[in-house]
Amino acid sequence: MSAIVIGAGIIGLAIGRALAMAGHDTFILDGEADFGTWTSARNSEVIHAGIYYPKGSIKARLCVEGKSRLYAYCIEREVPHRNCRKLIFAADASQSAKLDEIAASAQAAGVTDLTRFTGADVRQLEPALACHEALLSPSTGIIDSHAYMLALLADAETHGAQLVCRTKVDRIVRRGGEWLVYANGESQPAAITDLVVNAGGLGAQQLAGNIEGLDPATIPPLHLARGVYFSYAGASPFQHLIYPIPEHGGLGTHLTMDLAGQIRFGPDVEWISEIDYRVDPNRHAKFVAGARQIWADIDPTKLRPAFAGIRPKLSGPGEPAADFSIMGPADHGAPGLVNLFGIESPGLTASLPIADLVLEKLATNI
């Protein structure tokens, strides 16, 4: 069967790879000049362990499965990555109960490798971090997300898939048992296909609204959350990712790093109404305050604006975090169609099992 995947970010490329490897005649379409230029290019590149996701959620299940598969894939395909591990710390004794809750929730979700460390133990691992105690996550790591996308695309193309950029899909119409895919304002369809996967990320809801016959009630609202990062232009004393106790519905200002060892702090999250990647340098004082909770001796003059990323969230301010929404024919009633909504973190980590789930959804056609 023929298949069209709309969106060439990490998720779209993983799905295109899976479809092509399953024998489908696959095209991956993207409106930009290259693949992976939206959310996939603007994230912390962390391989998550699955610690923060509720038991029974799609996020928890696919993240726990995805991390081991992603590490194995990186080794097999020589994708640069590092299993640098993560510390979640309690600044003082008053936060110890929160560590208990995190450990219990993670265990229930299938994360079985967390270890508790005293403050003295933490000092042996990270002398610059002063804390009461911490949880060590040995399966957290970092990855070169662009190299990962290149590997996914190479696999897809090896199995016959084609990437077609500068092709912005406007609407999709069902006719005679097939899908007509229109793009770039043209009056004639750019493609006619059996299967369609909407992996449009930040644009998934807008595209779904232009699928003829799809019940609007199956399209969840989109909330844009911009996360801003500042980087540190100097040598780092840290070897692990460092996370505080989560607060205010997020993970707080935490320390991540890239494969070159450069550290960054963030995200400072704000809710926005339209896509805007600007980073306000006036946030410097706020980032210094957050960074000093991790590194008391940080040189504030070396903390500088870095980048911003935007998450396509399904829950708004003050609401409980929403799960992934991956809707197939049995969910919305449209044959041969899968819509993916709210694929934010841990989407990168879960990308391979997400692709498998999409194939399962398409196999259960109506």
**SS3 assignment for 188-244:** CCCEEECEEEECCHHHHHHHHCCECCCCHHHCCCCEEEEEEEEEECCCCCCCCEEEC
- Report if residue 54 sits inside a domain: no
Query: pLDDT per residue over 26-79, tens digit each?
Result: 999 999 999 999 999 999 999 999 999 999 999 999 999 999 999 999 999 999
Q: Determine the 3-state secondary structure of 43 from DSSP.
A: coil
φ, ψ of residue 120 in degrees (nearest 5):
-65, -40
- Using DSSP's 3-state secondary structure scheme, residue 153 falls into helix
Residue 253 pLDDT: 87
Q: Are residues 307 and 247 in the same domain?
A: yes
| Nearest to 169, CA basis, from 337, 362, 56, 303 | 337
The per-residue pLDDT for 248 is 56
Q: Can you give the three-state secondary structure of 93-117, one letter per residue?
A: HHHHHHHHHHHHHHHHCCCCCCEEE
Range of the domain at 32: 2-46+146-220+321-363
Does residue 168 sit in the same domain as residue 212?
Answer: yes
Residues in the chain, pLDDT under 70: 247-251, 365-366
Tokens coding 300: 């504030």
Q: Tell whether 96 and 163 lie within a shared domain.
A: no
The reply to whether 247 falls in a domain is yes
In a domain, 241, yes or no: yes
Is 79 within a domain? Answer: no
> How many domains does the chain contain in total?
2
Q: Are residues 108 and 131 in the same domain?
A: yes
C-alpha separations of 251 from 109, 187, 311 in Å: 18, 46, 14
Model's pTM, two decimal places? 0.97
CATH of the domain at 282: 3.30.9.10
Specify the CATH number for the domain of residue 159: 3.50.50.60
Q: Indicate whether 51 belongs to any domain.
A: no
Report pLDDT for 32: 98
Say if residue 118 is in the same domain as residue 244.
yes
Report if residue 27 sits inside a domain.
yes
Domain co-membership, 231 together with 103: yes
CB 65 within 8 A of CB 119: no
Domain check: are 203 and 327 in the same one? yes
Q: Are residues 245 and 112 in the same domain?
A: yes
Whether residues 162 and 214 share a domain: the answer is yes
Sign of CA dihedral 137, 111, 50, 89: negative
